[in-house]
Amino acid sequence: MMSPLKGSTVRRDALTEAQRGQMLALMQLCYTGVSPERFAEDLDAKQYVILLHTRRGGELVGFSTLRVAEELAGGQRVEVVYSGDTVIHPDWWGHKVLQVCFGRFVLSRKLRHPLRPVHWLLLSAGFRTYLLAVNYFPRTMPRRDWTPPPGRADFLQALAARWFGAQYDASRGTLRFQGAHYRVRDGVAPIDRAAALHPDIAFFAERNPRHGEGEELVCLVEIRWWDLFLALGRSVSGQLRGWARRGLRNAGVRVGT
């Protein structure tokens, strides 16, 4: 049984006006304060977009914008993959298609220069985005159970200060955008009492206490070959389990959640 979602990675300049409009509408559904100008600014600063569509009907239900840049870290050339606006319609949470598409994209970048380190720059205004990193990649900074090597924090701070300017607060490790900025709508992925008991979610809330106001935690994720292969394997395995559960439900077999 195939996934009800399909993903594709396209160049940003190949998007149609209709697709851009659908992406904006999806952002406005899940976030408050999303202006067309702010959305266009983020999108036009990226080179690639991962698109998620339903197989039946072709409805756009998720996307993630991506920027790729070369940087120097400790005198070594590295590649930085920066995730911008990312959203999945709540009806489709739990599917692993976005993770698989992102993993394939990073794999294609690593294959271009196998010995060049790849780092994922991720901004997390919600805990679900943060968990995408820590659940799959052990060398995520910041995280509660890993101490980065010397120089890593300095690289992240210098990169964030150069890319985001005065909006970056180095003492907190967060971005607070000047003027109007969007935030997750009330009731969409809240940190309730049950979620707060999860140690990684509790850590995220501690490091980014103003996430409810749209403040974003700046994360840097080192993507090693082994971690990438494990992440892809886990994502594909998750897809297969999801397909099996849905197939059993469709057949009238009761399965656990």
Asked whether the predicted pLDDT for residue 138 surpasses 70, the reply is yes
12-61 per-position pLDDT tens digit:
999 999 999 999 999 999 888 788 998 998 899 999 999 999 999 899 99
Q: Which two tokens stand for residue 18?
A: 């209709």
Mean pLDDT of 125-147: 91
Q: What percent of the chain has pLDDT over 90?
A: 61
Range in 25-34, 71-80, 185-194, 203-212 the model is least confident about: 185-194
Under a CB-based contact definition with an 8 Å cutoff, are residues 40 and 27 in contact? no
pTM of structure: 0.82
Q: Give domain limits for the chain.
A: 5-250
Q: Which residues contact 255 (CB under 8 A, 6 or more apart)?
A: 245, 248, 249
Mean pLDDT of 180-190: 56
209-238 per-position pLDDT tens digit:
988 787 899 999 999 999 999 988 887 665
97-108 per-position pLDDT tens digit:
998 899 999 999
248 confidence band (pLDDT: 50, 70, 90): very low
Asked whether the predicted pLDDT for residue 252 surpasses 60, the reply is no
- CA gap 188, 14 in Å, rounded: 31
Indicate the SS3 state at residue 166: helix
Q: Which two tokens stand for residue 122?
A: 């991720």
Asked whether the predicted pLDDT for residue 195 surpasses 50, the reply is yes
Asked whether the predicted pLDDT for residue 188 surpasses 90, the reply is no
